């Protein structure tokens, strides 16, 4: 049974897509048009009651929340494709730590910027410059800590690529495109090198080629 | 080497404490007074650069982010104490899904309510009734989905207690105390039964007895 991934055009589902490619797992995608409200349709809510993407269906197993999905496939196919959870329980602990940092420190300010700047024009939202500045300042504080961390290890959880790095791909990509906020990455030597490394992986290039979204 | 847990008086570190008790792991605690700014002291920032609690030190291994810590100990002591990750990879996937729901859907509105109502008076913060109402409405939407879920399975990830349930203990406890928002739980039959079940575990009672905090 081929894995079905819902919502490939949006950033969070891209975590699942890039993970499945890294693990060499075959999948197909199912479009969900958020602008048309397809995530609020009764059939969709049976799969994902919180009205968000992605969902995966794998035979009769259904899973939502992108960071849960990537953990599941990294574990299920541990012996196949790229190792994404580290080799020891201690390494996995650090992968979990930086995945949580991504979710709780990095994600809220970058999500706010992306929502307002990239998606705002499509949903009739005019950003307040003061709020944008606040989010950018918060993101800078997080990136300063990343800069320090990445001066000591090649990737966030250590000297190995992991889910913690992968999870940053979909939203960081916006900064590098039409948003014109590349400087947030380029002004930080180690963050910049890390971004070049992780974003040049064939898995991520393939995701961008197949589902360019609004980058 | 006994595990050291920093910040036991605050809610997020209590995730680590209740998990360690469930797993039968010996630990000691180190006070961190956030009101005195001890989380901004240079020595503390070496352990936790994002200025938050908890941190654990386990010999020369240091880990922060409460939901990373509980995953680490649940995995490290898989064969000891309560099984908290499910028995199969599919069960663990669902534990991860509901842990993510706790972090991204449940936590933001309840954190906002607790910060403003419980901690507000100590930090000179006067809550805006409109914002409180918004957070409470968001929390209600999440609890309505929990009610539906818990009408079909005894716990969030299935018919077994897991990290997904445990992770809800520290913040939900506030609703049941001085906040006077018990009705958010009691008005929902299955959520109410679930809360009685998980909050009556000896591990959680011990945490409340030893570190009552501001409940």
Which chain A residues touch B145 with a CB distance below 8 Å? 49-50
How distant is the Cα of A66 from the closest Cα of chain B, in angstroms?
A: 9
Q: What integer is the mean pLDDT of A166-183?
A: 96
Which residues make up the CATH 1.20.1050.10 domain(s) of chain A? 89-201
Tell me how far the alpha carbon of residue A159 is from its chain's centroid: 20
Q: What integer is the mean pLDDT of B17-45?
A: 97
Structural contact between residues B31 and B7, judged by C-beta atoms closer than 8 angstroms:
yes
In a mutational test of the B interface, the residue from A71, A78, A142, A156 whose CB has the highest number of chain B CBs within 10 Å is: A71
The pLDDT of residue B1 is 78
CATH number of B3-82: 3.40.30.10
pLDDT above 90: percentage of residues in chain B: 95
Which chain A residues touch B93 with a CB distance below 8 Å? 61, 63, 68-69, 71-72, 76
- The nearest alpha carbon in chain A to B147 belongs to A49
Q: Whole-angstrom Cα distance, residue A169 to residue A38?
A: 25
A42 touches chain B (CB under 8 A): no
CA-closest candidate to residue B66, choices B119, B123, B12, B20: B12
Judged by CB atoms closer than 8 Å, whether chains meet at A96 and B72 is answered as: yes
Q: Is the model's pLDDT at B178 over the cut of 90?
A: no
Q: What integer is the mean pLDDT of B80-87?
A: 98
Domain A89-201 indexed as CATH 3.30.1130.10 = no
CA-closest candidate to residue A104, choices A150, A49, A145, A148: A145
The pLDDT of residue A101 is 98
Sign of CA dihedral B72, B86, A51, A1: positive
- What is residue A29's three-state secondary structure? strand
Judged by CB atoms closer than 8 Å, whether chains meet at B93 and A145 is answered as: no
pLDDT tens, position by position, A72-124? 999 999 999 999 999 999 999 999 999 999 999 999 999 999 999 999 999 89
Q: Is the model's pLDDT at A205 over the cut of 90?
A: yes
Q: Whole-angstrom Cα distance, residue B159 to residue A108?
A: 32
Q: What integer is the mean pLDDT of A65-70?
A: 98
- The nearest alpha carbon in chain B to A62 belongs to B94
Which residues are bridge partners to B158 per DSSP? Answer: none
Q: Is the model's pLDDT at A1 over the cut of 90?
A: no
How distant is the Cα of B67 from the closest Cα of chain A, in angstroms?
A: 7
Q: Is the model's pLDDT at A178 over the cut of 90?
A: no
ipTM for the assembly: 0.97
In a mutational test of the B interface, the residue from A104, A105, A142, A167 whose CB has the highest number of chain B CBs within 10 Å is: A104
- What is residue B62's three-state secondary structure? strand
Q: What integer is the mean pLDDT of A31-57?
A: 96
Question: B125 or B50, which is more confident?
Answer: B50
Domain B89-200 indexed as CATH 2.40.40.20 = no
Q: Which residue has tokens 């055009």?
A: A9
Which residues make up the CATH 3.40.30.10 domain(s) of chain B? 3-82
Structural contact between residues B54 and B66, judged by C-beta atoms closer than 8 angstroms:
yes
Neighbouring CB atoms inside 10 A of B83's CB total 17
Eight-class DSSP state of A128: P
Q: Whole-angstrom Cα distance, residue B147 to residue B166?
A: 17
- Could you give the count of Cα atoms lying within 13 Å of B209 in the half-sphere of its Cβ? 8
Phi/psi at B187 (5° precision): -75, -5
Angle formed by the axes of helices A107-114 and A129-150, nearest 10°: 140
**For residue B200, what are the contacts with CB-CB under 8 A and spacing of at least 6?**
none
pLDDT tens, position by position, A5-38? 999 999 999 999 999 999 999 999 999 999 999 9
Which chain B residues touch A94 with a CB distance below 8 Å? 63
Nearest to B90 among A61, A103, A105 (CB): A61
Gyration radius of chain B over CA positions? 17
Average pLDDT value over all residues in chain A: 97
Q: What integer is the mean pLDDT of A145-150?
A: 98
Alpha-helix residue ranges (DSSP H) falling in A77-167: 89-101, 107-114, 129-150, 163-166
Q: What integer is the mean pLDDT of B15-38?
A: 97
Q: What integer is the mean pLDDT of A171-197?
A: 97
Q: Whole-angstrom Cα distance, residue B70 to residue B19?
A: 6
How distant is the Cα of B18 from the closest Cα of chain A, in angstroms?
A: 18
**For residue B89, what are the contacts with CB-CB under 8 A and spacing of at least 6?**
A72, A75, A76
CA-closest candidate to residue B100, choices A9, A89, A142, A100: A100
Q: Is the model's pLDDT at A42 over the cut of 90?
A: yes
Which residues make up the CATH 1.20.1050.10 domain(s) of chain B? 89-200
Which chain B residues touch A96 with a CB distance below 8 Å? 65, 67-68, 71-72
Tell me how far the alpha carbon of residue A173 is from its chain's centroid: 9
Which chain B residues touch A145 with a CB distance below 8 Å? 49-50
């Amino acid at each position: 049974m081929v894995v079905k991934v819902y919502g490939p055009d949006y950033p969070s589902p891209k975590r699942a897509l890039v993970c499945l490619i890294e693990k060499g797992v075959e999948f197909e995608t199912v479009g969900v048009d958020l602008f048309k409200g397809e995530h609020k349709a009764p059939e969709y809510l049976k799969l994902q009651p919180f009205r968000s993407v992605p969902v995966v269906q794998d035979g009769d197993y259904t899973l939502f929340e992108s960071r849960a999905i990537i953990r599941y496939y990294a574990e299920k196919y541990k012996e196949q494709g790229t190792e994404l959870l580290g080799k020891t329980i201690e390494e996995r602990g650090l992968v979990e730590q930086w995945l949580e940092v991504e979710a709780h420190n990095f994600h809220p300010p970058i999500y706010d910027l992306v929502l307002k700047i990239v998606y705002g024009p499509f949903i009739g939202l005019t950003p307040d410059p003061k709020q944008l500045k606040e989010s950018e300042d918060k993101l800078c504080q997080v990136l300063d800590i990343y800069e320090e961390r990445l001066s000591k290890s090649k990737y966030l959880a250590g000297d190995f690529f992991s889910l913690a790095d992968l999870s940053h791909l979909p939203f960081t990509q916006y900064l590098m495109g039409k948003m014109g906020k590349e400087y947030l990455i380029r002004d930080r030597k180690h963050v910049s090198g890390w971004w070049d490394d992780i974003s040049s992986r064939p898995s991520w290039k393939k995701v961008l080629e197949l589902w360019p979204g609004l980058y």
